[in-house]
Structure formats: C-alpha cells, structure tokens
A and B are shown apart, each in its own frame.
Chain A
C-alpha cells in the first residue's frame, strides 16, 4: 500500500495541487461579484496586472537563459578571455558583458566569482554594468516597447556601452584589490562533469524556477509602484517636478532606481512615460535602471565594502546624468 502511494506520489501531489487551486479559484470568483471596491483601486489593479502580463514572457525567457548560463557556462570560460592589460581588460569585459545575457539579480554572484579568481575589479564592474543592459532580449523588448522604433533601442545600447566603459575606467583609477567586505571563502563545487546532459538540463530548468521566484517579487513590487504612480499621481505634478531637462532626467533616473525593474521588462514601463517626458529622460530611465538599482545595490552590499558600493553608485549616476545632458541636445 505504502509502496503504491509512493510510486504514484507525483500524480497524487499534482492532482492535489490542481484541486487546491481550483478551490481557491472558485472562492475568488465568488468574491468577484460581492466585493465593493472603489474604481480607482480597480484601475490600479488593471494597470498593475497588465504590466505583469506584458512582462512575464520576457522575464521567463530571461530566466531560462540565465539558468542555461549558470549551468552550462563556467566563470573560467569568461576569465580565460580577459587580457592582462588593465584597460584592455575593461574594454574586453564590457564587450563580453554586452554579449552575455544576464539579469542584474544574477550578475553580482558572478562578478564576485570573477574577482575572486583574479579579474581586476574595474573589469568586473564593467561586466556588471553591460551584462543586464545590453543583450538580445533587452534589445528586442526595447525595440517592441517603443512602437517598433529602433532609435531608442540603439541609443540605449550605444550610450549605455560608452557610459559603462567610462565608469569602469574611473573605478580602475580609484580602487585596487578585491573590495570584498570580509575574506569570503570561495569553495568550488567539484562535481562538474559528472552529470549527463539531461541531468544538467533538468537542473537548469529547476534553477530557472528559483531565479523566477527571486526576481518575481522585485518585478511585482515594481509593477505595483508604477501602477500606483499612474493611478494616483497626476501627470501635471510629475511634469512640474520634472519640467526642465535636468530635473526631468533626475526624476526618471530616481524612478528607475526605486522601481528596480528587470532590464527585460523595464522598456514597457519606460515607454509608458514617453508621452510625458522627453526622450533624454526616458533614456536615463532605460540606461540607469539596469546598471544599478535599489535591489542591485542591496545585493552588492552583501559582498562588497559599503564605501565601494556607494562610490560605484555615485559614479554611475553621475556619468549617466552628465552624458545624457551633453547628448540630450542632439537627440
């Protein structure tokens, strides 16, 4: 009997989960008609959900790719490519980052590994800045979000890359050494190579689920805040705070920092502001957000020294602001 249950456990569990879900569903549907909710809440909810529905495909694809990289690409592969010359290494690592699709949630652990293995800190920061910002999914979603117009996507990638290189050079001039908080031991798992392809693939999918759950809460908070702003903050106020070129850029960069959106999905939210703000400010949102944001800063602080994290934050913010103000007139 027990053996019978055990062998069919998977089916039973699946069945139970589906049953539980259907119960919750019918309960929820029952509520739908009874609940009296103010219409502004319903508006908020509709906008909130629409952002999520639109972002989910991109997040899931991003998570699957991130999972694939975590499993199939080793950090050694990347570090082998990094040249010995410090400045060459920065340009190199920014380019590798641009080719390497990663999200900002997953990239801090990777750069920690890279730095631990002797990659210069400046090169690692360059990699961290371009990794989430420049990759095929971000290009595709930015292209789509701005009405199939390639201009914003191209500017986002081009200016973003230039800014990443400038910041990495400055980090290289200011900081030496690993900048780790404490001496963190890096023990390497040694069972690589023992798994079959299928096992690796399975692990990759499981990894994707974990990655999704890590990211989902930040995405949901971001979508909710964005929906709040849209439902309750009149565009006129936002226009008044950010009426000048400089202040509107600052407002959008601040928004990007606090929303902490995934680079795969932030284009859609950035696009929703394009009727209110000039494209320079929108670019500030699109470039600054993926490079560094609230959740990324928090993750970095658990690895690097506080002073280092704050300096990097200030450097990125300052450079993005300056470059966009300089180029803003030409757009």
Chain B
C-alpha cells in the first residue's frame, strides 16, 4: 500500500472546483458571474468535476508493484510523450519539486480567492477602466453610421425631427396615462432573458408611444434603438434607473445613470447608460443606485452626439438583486 500525496491533492482540488461551482448555484451568487443563459453549462462543469473527483480518488492508494499500470494509464498509444513525462504530461507520480509546488499553488489560487473573498458587483471603477463614455459614444456612433446607410431617405427629408417624434406636451399627456403601469414590470427578471418574437415586437412597439419605461428585460434593446436614433426620440419622456457613474471632464450637474450588460460572464460586461443633467447631480455619490425621470435631448461627448436626459425627478433606490442586464434572446417557436 502506498499513499500518493499528489494524487490526494489533485482529488481535493477537483472536489473543490465542483463544490465551488455548486455553491455559487445554490447561493444564487452565480448571477454575479455569468449570464443565466449558461447556467446549465456551468452545472455540467460542476458535475464533470465531481465525476473526475471520483475517478481520481481511486488513484490515491496503490498496491506496490502494480502502481505503474494503475496510476499511469500506460495504455496502448496514449503515451506519445513517454520520453519526458514531466515535461509534457504529469501523471502526478513524478517526484515533488518546487516547480510543481508553484503549479499546484496556481491551480489552488482561484479556489482560495473564491471561497475567501466575497463576490462583488462591478462598480464605477471598472466602468471607468472599461472606458464607459467611449463605449456609450461608440454605440451611439455605430448606430448613427448604420442609420445613414440603412434607413430610408425619409429621415433625411425631415432633419432634426423624425416623423415619429411627438411634441413634448403630447408626451406628457400620455405619460399621465402610463403611470398606471405596474411597478413590477421594472424588477429584474433574474433569469434567462428569453422572449418570443411576439413579446419582443410588442415591447418594441411600446417604445413608440408614451413614456419610455426601461425595465431590465428590454433595457438594452431600447438603449440601442435610442442611441442609434437620437433625433427620433428627442423630447420623449423616459423613466429608468441604474448606478451613478462620473468621469473627469463632466460638468457639475452631470452624471451617467448606467448599467452593465453581460453577454456571457462579467469579464465581457459592457457599459450602457444615459448621460443625465440635473442640479442635484453634484451631490450624488458614485455607485449609488438612483431612479430618474426626464426628457431625452441630444448631448455630445468628444464631438459624437449622444442621448442626454434632462432630469425632472430623481430618487435613491436599492441595488437590485440581479444588478446586471442580459441581452434579449429571441425564442423561435
């Protein structure tokens, strides 16, 4: 009987990864890492880790003599790297060295930091590093150029005022009717952001009339529409919420009400948000969650026109349970 320390360490690591992923799923923290669309895939990974753990555990003890066959898997042609095991492929049977200690430490690092440090919601510091304003201006810019090439010349005929634009007064009137919309529609879905073609089209139609209410499931689609066609939405009333982002070069009364849009995992989170203007802005701290109501106008950032919200009403809100937005997936029937 022989006890293999390295094999035991490996089984511990495999179990660790499995438990770590399962734990994130059970505590709901997984939403702070990945788009719920990939929940199943990540559960599959946790399961595979568990399976590999059960296989690895059989290699911890070997009977002397037969060890080569049991633990080294020298089956058939598998060992195309038989000359230098330790370089190409480590079966965990070669003697322990400082080099191996380093590689085990590297593998253990995410487990240690995962269990010991709390998961954090990305904040405005990351938004700054990701170039928040650049991407806001970018999405508006790319939208504009797309507009020029794809939209009919109807647009060119009525410069400044798109045909769908409603005078502000009319908007206000309609807004009065729309305040009946239940608050519930604004809460985060928290689950896979999936909807059918019909539902999606209905939501996009809603964009054409009344106050534009941003709820999480449609936020990114509305955002895209508006920033690619600012003129059309000029003067429309909007109601939205997000965390406060500020950057050097902003005026005293300016801030961005922003959200992170997560396509897969938070590493690919992009910033979307609306530059907002109101006198109280100077007093509001970064990373606070606020809800605003106001009217869309055209602002600019580094000579690129971007939507600007003139805020008439604002209040502090709680950070939602699922702080991120996910792009809409259209479900085909």
Using a CB–CB cutoff of 8 Å, the interface residues on chain A facing chain B are 6, 9-10, 13-14, 17-18, 20-21, 24-25, 28-29, 31-32, 35, 37, 39-43, 45-54, 56-57, 60-61, 64, 70-71, 74-75, 108-110, 112-113, 144-145, 147-148, 184-189, 191-193, 195, 199-200, 202-203, 205-214, 216-217, 220-221, 223-224, 226-227, 230-236, 239, 268-269, 271-272, 275-276, 299, 302
Q: Specify which chain B residues have a CB less than 8 angstroms from the CB of A212 in the assembled complex.
A: 52
Cβ contact within 8 Å between B76 and A53: no
Interface residues contributed by chain B, number (CB under 8 Å): 87
Q: Nearest CB to that of A6 among chain B residues?
A: B1
Task: Report Cα–Cα, A51/B135, bound state, in Å.
Answer: 21
Contacts of B123 in A (CB 8 A): 39, 43
Q: Are B130 and A56 in contact (CB under 8 A)?
A: no
CB distance from B2 to the nearest CB of A (A): 11
Q: Are A17 and B125 in contact (CB under 8 A)?
A: no
Cβ B89 vs Cβ A50 within 8 A: no
- Which residues of B (135-177) have their CB < 8 Å from a CB of A? 135, 138
- Give Cα distance in the complex from A75 to B265, angstroms: 38
Q: Tell me the minimal C-beta distance from A330 to chain B in angstroms.
A: 16
Q: Is the CB of B268 within 8 A of A46?
A: no
* B113 CB contact (under 8 Å) in A45, A184, A208, A231: A45
* Contacting residues, chain A, for B264 (C-beta < 8 A): 54, 144-145, 268, 271
Q: Which residue of B lies closest to A147 (CB)?
A: B263
Contacts A46-B119, A302-B87 known; A189 to B52 CB distance under 8 Å?
no
Collect the chain A residues with CB atoms within 8 Å of residue B135's CB.
275
Q: Is the CB of B113 within 8 A of A49?
A: yes
A210 to B91, CA, bound (A): 6
- Taking the complex as formed, is B214 at the interface, i.e. its CB lies under 8 A from any CB of chain A? no
8 contacts between A and B (CB under 8 A): A18-B15, A25-B115, A35-B117, A41-B117, A46-B122, A49-B119, A210-B92, A268-B264
User: Which residue of B is nearest A233, CB measured?
Assistant: B129
Closest to A114 in B: B80
Q: A73 — nearest CB in chain B belongs to which residue?
A: B77
- Report the separation of the CA atoms of residues A169 and B90 in the bound assembly, to the nearest whole angstrom: 34
Decide yes or no whether B228 CB sits under 8 A from chain A: no
Instruction: Give the chain B neighbours of A52 by CB distance below 8 A.
Output: 110
CA A195 to CA B48, docked complex, whole Å = 25
- The reply to whether B266 and A109 contact each other, CB–CB distance below 8 Å, is no
What is the bound-complex CA distance between A209 and B158, given in angstroms?
Answer: 65
Assembly CA distance A275 to B94 (angstroms): 45
Minimum distance in angstroms from B10 CB to a CB of chain A: 6
Measured between C-beta atoms, what is the minimum distance from A310 to chain B in Å?
Answer: 19
Residues of chain A with a CB closer than 8 A to B49's CB: 56, 60
**Given that A49-B33, A226-B267, A275-B138 are known contacts, is A209 also in contact with B10, CB under 8 Å in the complex?**
yes
Closest to B58 in A: A10
Question: Chain B contacts of A40 at CB under 8 A?
Answer: 125
Contact B113 A48 (CB under 8 A): yes
Measured CA separation A191–B76 after assembly (Å):
6
B56 within 8 A of A: yes
User: Is B107 within 8 A of A268, CB to CB?
Assistant: no
A160: min CB distance to chain B, Å:
22
B308 on the A face (CB < 8 A): no
Contact B8 A13 (CB under 8 A): yes
Q: Does B202 make an interface contact (CB < 8 A)? A: no
The answer to whether B78 and A205 have CB atoms under 8 Å apart is no
Q: Are A227 and B82 in contact (CB under 8 A)?
A: no
Quick check: B112 and A28 within 8 Å, CB to CB? Answer: yes
Chain A residues contacting B120 (CB-CB under 8 Å) are: 39, 42-43, 45-46
Report Cα–Cα, A52/B267, bound state, in Å. 10
Given the complex, which residues of A lie within 8 Å of B329, measured CB to CB? Answer: 148
A71→B138 CA distance, assembly (Å): 50
Cβ of B134 under 8 Å from chain A? yes
Q: Does B74 contact A (CB under 8 A)?
A: yes
Query: Do residues B110 and A235 form an inter-chain contact, with CB atoms below 8 A?
Result: no
Residues of B within 8 A of A31 (CB): 116
Residues of the A chain whose Cβ atoms lie less than 8 Å from the Cβ of B83: 184-187
Say how far A228's CB is from chain B's closest CB, in angstroms. Answer: 11
Is A13 within 8 A of B110, CB to CB? no
Q: Which of A28, A48, A205, A269 contacts B52 (CB 8 A)?
A: A205
In the bound assembly, the distance between CA atoms of A31 and B112 in angstroms comes to 11
Q: Mark B57-83, 1 if CB is under 8 A from A, else 0.
A: 111110000000001011111111111
Query: In whole angstroms, how far apart are the Cα atoms of A136 and B8 in the complex?
Result: 34
Residue pair A32, B265 in contact (C-beta under 8 Å): no
Is B327 an interface residue when CB atoms closer than 8 A count as contact? Answer: yes
State whether the Cβ of B333 lies closer than 8 Å to any Cβ in chain A.
no
Partner of A203, one of B57, B78, B103: B78
On whether the beta carbons of A75 and B77 are closer than 8 Å, the reply is yes
Q: Give the nearest-CB partner of A67 in chain B.
A: B78
Does any Cβ of A come within 8 Å of B42's Cβ?
Answer: yes
Q: Is the CB of A60 within 8 A of B122?
A: no
Instruction: Specify which chain A residues have a CB less than 8 angstroms from the CB of B125 in the assembled complex.
Output: 39-40, 43
Q: Report how far A131 CA is from B275 CA in the complex, Å.
A: 47
> Which B residues touch A239, using CB under 8 A?
131, 134
The 8 A CB mask of B11-55 against A (1 = contact, 0 = none) is 111111101010010000010111000100110110011011011
Chain B residues, CB < 8 A from A108? 88
| Any A CB within 8 A of the CB of B320 | no
Question: From residue B331, how far is it (CB to closest CB) to chain A in Å?
Answer: 13
